[in-house]
Amino acid sequence: MAILIYFIASVFIVIGFLMLFSFHRTRRWEFVLMSFVYSASGLSAGYSLKWWPLVAGFVVAWLLKFAGYDPDKAANSALHPSKSKNGASE
């Protein structure tokens, strides 16, 4: 069980570092927030050898996505032109 916790915790830490790298390229603060959540949950699970920090970090990350801190949401809306009230593109 300890090896599985170490493996998943290391995956969370790698995701956190990849999000920091994405922040460095895009300068979007949502990546810093999500990076902190994933890295902190991975580090605390690896240090304590408990499974619940991983679940808590995953739940907090999804709550942040539902709250609107999803980095992909603004990027996708920037790619599509806005529509006026009658449905025609501006």
Cα dihedral 10, 11, 16, 20, rounded to 10, equals 100
Helix (H, G, I), strand (E, B) or coil at 69: coil
Q: Which residue has the higher pLDDT, 59 or 81?
A: 59
- For 59-76, what is each residue's pLDDT tens digit? 999 999 898 887 776 555
The model's pTM:
0.75
| Sequence-distant (≥ 6) Cβ neighbours of residue 48 within 8 angstroms | none
Residue 43 confidence (pLDDT) above 90: yes
Alpha helices by DSSP H, listed for 1-90, are 2-26, 29-48, 52-66, 71-79
Q: Which two tokens mark 65?
A: 């996505």
69 phi/psi in degrees, rounded to 5: -95, 30
Residue 24: what pLDDT? 87
pLDDT classification of 80: cutoffs 50, 70, 90? very low
Per-residue pLDDT at 84: 52
**Phi and psi torsions of 83, nearest 5°:** -105, 145
Within 10 A of 9 (CB to CB), how many other CB atoms are there? 23
9-37 pLDDT, tens digit per residue, is 999 999 999 999 988 888 888 889 999 99
Break the chain into its structural domains and give their ranges: 2-71
